[in-house]
Amino acid sequence: MDAVALTKFFHFLWKKNKNLDSCKVKIPDTIVYEHNFPTGLYYFDSKQISKKSGKELDTMTLYNDFLKFEDKTHGIIACYLSQVEDPETNEITNKVEYLNREGLKDFFFVRKVRDRGILQRFITPKGPFNCLFSLFLFFYGYIYVFCSFYPSNLVSSCNQN
């Protein structure tokens, strides 16, 4: 996963075509972060992907909007996908953080540095595997779909520890 391609991907999905329509793909609410700042909130309204930016990205409003989707069975509200550089090896690795109510509050109001990445509303899987949480990455004209092959109950057990 290339963080630049990932953050630009949502802009690509939203961008209007000649008929002034965006892609008609359902996506979870997604906030794109660049330079430690939210640059856009992409979401699916009833017909297409829409975008909020600038003054519409009030931290308290975003936090409260994400809290509306809290699933009490596991408590996970959102996940944050980013890339970080290992200080010892200088190797860039992908990082996924699952955020519950406290983690989301910390993310919005306490955390000083947010790496380039996306904060996405967590969709509770309907089956034994977390296949609804997929990363779509546009790269060289192909769309790759990455899907977790770990049982979804691992997320619940990790959250309780």
Three-state DSSP class for residue 146: strand
CA distance to 66, 73, 98, 117, per residue, from 101 (Å): 9, 13, 10, 20
0.75 exceeded by the pTM?
A: no
Domain boundaries, the chain: 3-124
pLDDT above 70 covers what percent of the chain? 66
Structure tokens that stand for 138 in this block: 């546009």
- Please tell me which residue, 133 or 91, carries the higher pLDDT value: 91
> Mind listing the pLDDT tens digit for each residue in 116-129?
889 999 887 766 55
> Mind listing the pLDDT tens digit for each residue in 85-95?
888 988 888 88
Structure tokens that stand for 151 in this block: 């049982």
